[in-house]
Chains A and B, each alone.
Chain A
Amino acid sequence: MENLVKKYARKLVDAGLAASSGPGIPLVGGLDHALVWNTTAPEIPVLEQLFQHLNINCLVFLRPSPPYDRIIRFLAGRALKGSGRILPQDCETRTFLHDLPVVEHFDLQAIVQALKQRKSVIIQGLDKENPCWGPVVIAPGNVSPEQGFVGVSSVCFACFVTFFSDYLALLKTGNKDPHMDRVFDQVLPFVQTQKSPLPDLMHGPFSKEQDVYAAMVQAGQKIVACGLVDSYFGNISYCWNNTLYISQTGASLDELTGCIDPVPLDGSTSAGITASSELTAHLDTIGRTGCQAILHGHPRFCVIVSMDCDPAQKAACPFSDKCHTHCPTPRHLASVPIVPGEVGSGPFGLCNTLPAAFDTSDSVIVYGHGLFVTGKTDFTQAFSTLTAVENLCTNRYLEQVRHLRHG
C-alpha cells in the first residue's frame, strides 16, 4: 500500500494536476490493516474520518493546479446555484461518473453524503482561512488507490471539457457572461496550443513479437509524456502475425508493460476478454484498412470540438438528447470525420460507426469521446496525425472564440 499511495501521488504531479510541494501537494491514503498516506498534511485528520464513514480502502485528495483550479471553482460556483452537480457531456464521464456532485464547504457530513452516492466530490471551499480551502476534488476507492487517481483525474478532464464546451456554446447563442469571460482569459495561458515536437519512435514494420511489445510500450509512454492525452484514457494496438496486440482494459498508456493482450485474428482463444473495451473497433478497423497500428486517446480539444453543434440546429434536432449515439448529421473537422458511438460494443457502440469512417481518413473523432488514428506499419505516422488533429481542433476552437468575442 505504501508503494501505491506514493506512486499515484507522483502520477498526479507528473500529469500536471497537482503541485509537488506546498499546500497543492496531492494526498493519497490507503487502508489495509493501517491507514498510510503519501505525506503529512493538516487536512489528513478530517480525511481519516471519511474512512470511518464510508466503505472505502483508499482516497485521493486533490487541490488541482491551474488551470483546473479556476475552471473547477467556476463550475462549482455555478453548480451550487443550481442542482449542486456539474453535468459533463463527454462520453467517459457520462458512462462512468454520471455527474459530479459539489459541496460548498469542507464539511464532513456533506462530503460523506456526496460520496455515499457518487465516486467523487468537488468542494468549492471559498474560505481561504479554512485550512481546507478549495477547490478540492476527492475521490475514494474500495480496491486500490488507482481508483482515486482515475477519479480525480477524470473530474479534472471532465471539468476542462465542460468549461470550454459551455463557453463556446454560450458565445454561439449570443449570450454574455463576464465572469466566464474572465475565467476563460485566466485559463487560456495554460492551454497548450502547440504540442511539443514529435518524439523519435521505433520504426516498423516489426518482425519480432518483442519489438511489437516494445513499440507499443514506447508509443504509450511518449504520447502521455508529451501531454497530448491522459494516461488512463485510451488504447493502442498493433497487428502482427495474424494477431492483434492490444492494451488491456483499464491499462494506463504510460504503463503498458505486462498489460498487452495478444488476440489471434481467427478467434481461436478468448484471452482477449481482458483486452480494451474497444477491441472490436480495433479489429474491424485493422481488417478494413489493412493498417497495422492504431492509437486512441482523448485529446481535450478533439473532445470539445466534436460536441460543438450550432445552437439553432441543436434546438431543431429530434436527437438533441442522444447526440452521443444518434447524431444523424454527417460531421467533419476539415477532412476528419466525427461519428457518434458509445464506449464498447453495445448496440450503439462506436464499433458500429468507427471502422467505416476510416474509409476516407486515417483519423476519426468519436463524438464527445476522443480520437482514433491509424498508422500503416508503426506508430510514427499515427502519432503525428494525432498531434496534427489535436492542434487543428485547438486552433479551430480558439479561432471561433476569438471571432465570436471580438468579431
Chain B
Amino acid sequence: MYGWTGKIARIDLTRQKIEIQTLSPDTYARYLGGRGLGSLFLQPCTALNWDHPDMPVCLFTGPLTATAAPTSGRSHMVSMSPLTGLMADSSMGGKIGVQLKRAGWDGIVITGKSDLPVGIEIADERITLVGAKNLWGMTTDAVYQHLAPKKAGLACIGPAGENRVRFAAVITDRHHAAGRTGLGLCLGTKKVKYILVSGTGRTRVKDPEQLKKAREDIFRLTAASPALMGQYGFSRMGTGAMYDLMDNRHMMPTDNFCATRFAPAGKLNANAYARFYSPRKHGCKGCHILCKKISTNHTAGTPMPEFETMSHFTALLGLQDIQLVTAANQRCNSLGMDTISTAVTLSCYREIIKKDFTPVSLLGMLEDIALDRGEGNALKRGAAAYARSMGKPDAAMAVKGLELPAYDPRGAYGMALGFAVSTRGGCHLRAYPISHEILRKPVATDRFSFSGKARIIKIAEDLNAVVDSLIACKFIFFAAGLEEYARVFSAVTGLDVTAHDLMAAGEKIEYNERIINSLKGFDARHDDLPARFFLQPGTGSGQIRVPPIDRAAFVQAKNAYYAVRGLSTDGLPTKSKAKQLGLPWKTW
C-alpha cells in the first residue's frame, strides 16, 4: 500500500499488551484515516460509557500524513466525550502525527485502564509503557520540560485531565491543543499522562512528481488567498486576524452572548498583540501557512492566543486586558483545558453569580477548576451541567453540552444551523460556514438568510469529514478544494479517486457519526440552539441589524437539512440510507 503504513497498534493498558492490527485496503479506502478510522474503532463500543475501560482512545494519522502534501502534519484523536455524551474528536496539531506515521503506524488504539500513571513511548516499531507516576500532577509545560522531546512529538494532559475536568484538553508539542470535547479526560481516566513518538521511516508515495504538481497548484491557491497569506491573513496575524472582522460584522459574542459588539474590541485585536509581543510564526509540521504566533521580545516564547480565546476571554467575559488573555491562555494550556469551553463555562458562572472577574479571580478560578478546588468543582463539568445544577439551564451557551465558539449565530445563519446539527455539539468547524458567510470563499453567501444553507452545510460537513481524515488543515480549504486534494490523494496512494469520490467517503463518515450519536440517545430535540438566540437581538447599528433568529425559519432549515442528509424528521439515521451508504446498521 502507498500512503498508509497498513499497521495499527492496539495498546491494551489493562493487560499491558500491544498488538498489531491490519485492515483491508478497502477499509482504508472507505474510512481514509483520522476521524474516519477513529469512528470505525469507536463504533463497536457505542453502548459503553465514556469511561468504560474498553472504550478506546484512538489517535490516527491519514494517508497524507508525513508526505509533501500541504498542511498534512496534523492528526486526529477520537473517543467518546465525557462532556457531551457524543462521539468525541479533535484535530491535533504539532508534529506528533508526522512522527507516528514515520514510526510506521497509521494510528494507535488505546484501551483498558492502567492502575498507575503511564506514558506511551513509541520509537519506530517499539512501543513501551513507561511508569509516569513522577509526572502525574504536572502541568503540560512541566511534562514537556521533563521529557524534553526534541524532535519527537509529545501529546500530554495536564492536571485537568487527571482531575476529571470534562473539557480537559490534550496538548501537543507544547503549543497545540486538541481542545474540544474532553479528550484530555479520556486519556486521564485511563491514567495516560503522555504519548511520546519518534519515527525514522517515510510514507510511501506512489507518484512523487504528480504530488509535486498538485502541491504547487495548492500553493498558488493559498498565495492568492487573503485570509491565509494576505497582509492580514492567518499567516501574518494568526487566527486573531478574525477578531476585528467579528467586531465589524457585529457577531462577537459579548457578555455570555447577550450582545454581539464589544466597545473596547478595537484595542484588543491582533494588531494590539503584534505591537506588544512582536510575535514570530510557528505552526504544525509540514505547514507553510504557520498560523501560530509566539512572542519574541521580553516576553519571548509566550504563545499568542487563538482567535476564539482572544474573543471569549475579552468580550464574552467583559474583560479588556490582552496580557490577561495571554496569561489565561497559557494557564489553560498548561493545566490542560479547552479555552473555549473554559471561557463559556466561566461566563455562564458570571451571569448566574452576577459577579465580574478580576485578573486574580479569573486566573485563580482556572486553577480551581483544573485542581478541583472550591467552586471549580461545580464548574469542571462544563457550562450546561453547571447551569442545570444552578436551576438556570438557559445560561449555558452550549449545544449538546459543547460550549459555543466565538461566532454569534445571530450574525451568520449557516453557522446557526451548523452549530445545531454538528455531530460533536456546538462546533464551528464541522461545516465551517465562516468561509462563505464571512470570508467570501468560494463566494459570499447572505449571512442573514437560511436560503440554500441546508445543502451547503451538509456538503461542507462531508468535506470536512474528509479533511479530518486525509488529514489536512481546515484552514487551507479557504483557498483550495477537494478538487486539488483529490489529486494529492491519488498521487500519494495511487488510487484513482476524484473529489466526488472523496466526498462520498465524507458522507459515510458523517452518517456513521450520526448513527453512533443516535444510539447514545441523540435526536432532533438536541439539534437546537440556546433559547437566547431566538428571543434576544444582537447588537445592531446604523447599517447592520442583528435580530433574533426566526425560530420557524430555523426549524424549516433544520428539516431541510434532515431531508438532504437522509435522516428521519426526528433527525435519526435510517436503515435504508445506511444501507445505501454501505454502513453497518446497529449491528455492533
Binding site for B on A (CB under 8 A): 1, 4, 30-33, 54-57, 94-96, 98, 113, 115-119, 141-144, 146-147, 150, 248-251, 263, 267-277, 279-280, 283, 342-349
Contacts and interface: CB of A to CB of B under 8 A. Distances in A.
A269 B271 contact: yes
Contact of A117 (B453, B483, B564): B483
Interface string B244-278: 11001000000000000000001001110000000
A273 B499 contact: no
Q: Is the interface of B mostly helix, strand, loop or mixed?
A: helix
A276 B231 CA distance: 10
B412 interface: no
Nearest to A149: B443
B9 to A, nearest CB: 34
A274 B436 CA distance: 11
Contacts of A279: 226, 230-232
Nearest to A276: B226
6 contacts: A55-B503, A95-B221, A143-B445, A274-B439, A274-B440, A277-B230
Nearest to B451: A1
A267 B230 CA distance: 13
Interface of B: 217, 219-227, 229-233, 237, 240-245, 248, 266, 269-271, 436, 438-445, 451-456, 459-460, 462, 483, 486, 498-501, 503, 560, 563-564
Contacts of B229: 344-346
B456 A345 contact: no
The A interface is mostly helix, strand or loop, or mixed, namely: loop
A70 B560 CA distance: 42
A348 B223 contact: yes
A15 to B, nearest CB: 16
B230 A143 contact: no
A4 B438 CA distance: 19
Contacts of A277: 224-226, 230
Contacts of B451: 1, 32
A352 to B, nearest CB: 11
Nearest to B481: A119
A116 B241 contact: no
Contacts of A96: 221, 224
Given A32-B451, A143-B442, A342 B223 contact: yes
Contacts of A269: 244, 266, 269, 271
A78 to B, nearest CB: 23
A67 B241 CA distance: 45
Nearest to B504: A55
A147 B483 CA distance: 14
A31 B226 contact: no
A345 B231 contact: yes
A64 B230 CA distance: 35
A270 to B, nearest CB: 4
B245 A274 contact: yes
Contacts of B560: 32-33
Q: Which of B230, B459, B501 lies at the interface centre, i.e. has the most chain A CB atoms within 10 A of its CB?
A: B230
B350 to A, nearest CB: 28
Contact of B452 (A57, A251, A267, A344): A57
A33 B563 CA distance: 8
B440 A273 contact: no
B445 A275 contact: no
Nearest to A258: B543
B110 to A, nearest CB: 34
B501 A144 contact: no
A144 B449 CA distance: 13
Nearest to A267: B271
Contacts of B439: 249, 273-274
B434 to A, nearest CB: 11
B438 A274 contact: yes
B225 A144 contact: no
A322 to B, nearest CB: 10
Contact of B441 (A118, A250, A271): A250
A32 B440 contact: no
Given A32-B454, A32-B455, A249-B440, A271 B248 contact: yes
A273 B459 contact: no
A172 B223 CA distance: 34
B244 A270 contact: yes
Contact of A268 (B271, B444, B503): B271
Nearest to A97: B483
B22 to A, nearest CB: 30
Given A150-B443, A249-B441, A279-B231, A142 B459 contact: yes
